[in-house]
Amino acid sequence: MNAVVPEAAATSPERLRLTEIFLSLQGESRSIGWPTVFVRLTGCPLRCQYCDTAYAFHGGEWWDFDGILAEVARHGVRHVCVTGGEPLAQKRCIGLLERLCDAGYEVSLETSGSIDIAPVDLRVSRVLDIKTPGSAEVERNLWSNIAQLTPNDQVKFVVCSREDYDWAKAVIAEHRLVERCEVLMSPSFSQVRPRELADWIVADRLPVRFQMQLHKVLWDDEPGR
Ligand code: SF4
């Protein structure tokens, strides 16, 4: 990864701590399959039991916004996904999202659902996790986020068991989620067989979009892919 000179970034009020910037295919969400630049911010206050990006909890390097924008531009694609970790744990992420939108990119944000999304630019498609009991972080859900959702956003459940699936179904009904935005559901890798979850959704005719993480199928979850 080509970081900006740390001294220069350290003096900038527009800086963020990043674990990596890389080009890949979007592996999930509504933008699945598009060549996408991923900007992975360092740090997360949660500890989901299935987390596949624990390498982003610590470390990273300071980048200023101009450096990030230049690195994104170098890859020459239209889609940019700001992810983590939990990107919103760094407050300056809001400014970066705005800059990316102003530059004309299709911007998405992957967030844990535990931090207020209200300050996020509405041009950004916010992919909001709702943590299930099986994640071990269900108590971190910030339920007031649901009122902020627009049709440009997406809600995502990672399902770890049949109990999680039933819980998610109840949440979808209680909060009328499908009337607010698209609802995504994916199996927790190695905990629920994809086919099992697919069968449950079909049997219930649940109006959600089933997802398998494409990058895991293609590249077996290598970091940076
Ligand atoms: S919110 Fe995301 S990055 Fe944070 S622990 Fe959970 S899965 Fe990992």
Pocket residue to mutate for ligand 1, from 20, 44, 115, most atoms within 8 A of Cβ: 44
Whole-number pLDDT of residue 28: 87
Read off the pLDDT band of 2 (50, 70, 90): very low
Read off the pLDDT band of 153 (50, 70, 90): very high
> Which residue is closest in CA terms to ligand 1's atom 6?
48
DSSP conformation letters of 115-174: S--TTS-TTSEEEEE---GGGT-GGG--GGGGGG--TT-EEEEEE-SHHHHHHHHHHHHH
Give the pTM. 0.93
Q: What is the mean pLDDT of the chain?
A: 93
Domain spans, the chain: 6-219
Distance CA 35, CA 31 (A): 9
6-219 homologous superfamily: Aldolase class I (3.20.20.70)
**pLDDT digit string (tens) for 26-84?**
998 889 999 999 999 999 999 999 999 999 999 999 999 999 999 999 999 999 999 99
Strands 79-83 and 35-41: parallel
Q: Are 39 and 56 in contact (CB under 8 A)?
A: no
Question: Closest ligand 1 atom, CA of 129?
Answer: 1
Over residues 196-208, mean pLDDT: 98
Q: Is the CB of 44 under 6 A from ligand 1?
A: yes
Q: Ligand 1: distance of its center to the CA of 67 in Å?
A: 26
In the predicted structure, residue 173 carries a pLDDT above the cut 90: yes
Whole-number pLDDT of residue 217: 81
Whole-number pLDDT of residue 102: 98
In the predicted structure, residue 221 carries a pLDDT above the cut 80: no
Question: Closest ligand 1 atom, CA of 84?
Answer: 3
- Is 42 annotated in some ligand binding site? no
In the predicted structure, residue 10 carries a pLDDT above the cut 90: no
In the predicted structure, residue 7 carries a pLDDT above the cut 80: no
Retrieve residue 139's tokens. Answer: 């108590």
In the predicted structure, residue 11 carries a pLDDT above the cut 80: no
DSSP conformation letters of 174-219: HTTHHHHSEEEEEEPTTTS-HHHHHHHHHHHT--SEE---HHHHHH
Whole-number pLDDT of residue 124: 98
